[in-house]
Chains A and B, each alone.
Chain A
Amino acid sequence: EVQLVESGGGLVQPGVSLRLSCAASGFTFSSFFMSWVRQAPGKGLEWVANIKQDGSDKYYADSVKGRFTISRDNAQNSLYLQMNSLRVDDTAVYYCARYFRSPADSLYYVDYWGQGTLVTVSS
């Protein structure tokens, strides 16, 4: 059974840093792109970042580029999101998700999601 379990959320002040973690199990973690997606309270879904299987390519939303860094440790089956210079509008539930990507078959979708971890940025 695929499981994605996020941790590391909490209440922080504007300007500080926070690191989210996602522990993956039930699949070959090193074979999949991974994603972070967030959802502000009462709002819609916002894609945040993607990382390639070997960590060599990373992609970011403009809203977090230069402040957030996605990374992974395939030996530990773990995904991370380092969030620096946090702002009030970064307040959201952050989801770790598995991104299935098969260009040869023109198939792209996010098929598994964690339960999310809440990050609240407030003074």
Chain B
Amino acid sequence: DIQLAQSPSFLSAFVGDRVTITCRASQGINNYLAWYQQKPGKAPKLLIYAASTLQSGVPSRFSGSGSGTEFTLTISSLQPEDFATYYCQQFKSYPLTFGQGTRLEIK
């Protein structure tokens, strides 16, 4: 199975900050990676697919990069509505695993 390790698990930041979340795969997954945002009590929302393609309707302050085993999600200038939990998911092979999540909180 392909394991995904996100870091950090918890992140505290100010509105306006630039933040980066990393997702490392236990083996190469090409660019078969997506990022999701989840707010409490809500379903996840797709942000990025194919490692770096912004889903329609997602603000341009979100960006993704990486290929192979290391990937990043960057939020260029945090807005109040961005405080949530973020997950990566790989689609290289079954089982389709998720990272453990990164909880982003307001400082």
Contact = CB atoms under 8 A, between A and B. Distances in A.
B46 interface: yes
Interface string B66-104: 000000000000000000000101010011111111000
Interface residues of B, number: 26
Q: What band does the interface of chain A fall in when counting residues whose beta carbon is under 8 Å from B?
A: 20 to 34
A108 B43 contact: no
Contacts of B55: 109, 111
A44 interface: yes
Contact of A47 (B50, B89, B100): B89
Interface of B: 1, 30-32, 34, 36, 38, 42-46, 49-50, 55, 87, 89, 91, 94-101
Interface of A: 35, 37, 44-47, 50, 59-62, 95, 101, 106-111, 113-116
The 7 A-B residue pairs with the shortest CB-CB distance in the complex, in nearest-first order: A108-B91, A109-B49, A113-B43, A109-B34, A47-B96, A44-B101, A45-B98
A107 B43 contact: no
Interface majority SS on A: helix, strand, loop or mixed?
A: strand
Contacts of A106: 30-32, 50
Interface majority SS on B: helix, strand, loop or mixed?
A: loop
B95 A61 contact: yes
6 contacts: A45-B87, A106-B30, A110-B46, A111-B46, A113-B45, A116-B43
A110 B34 contact: yes
Contacts of A116: 43
A59 B97 CA distance: 13
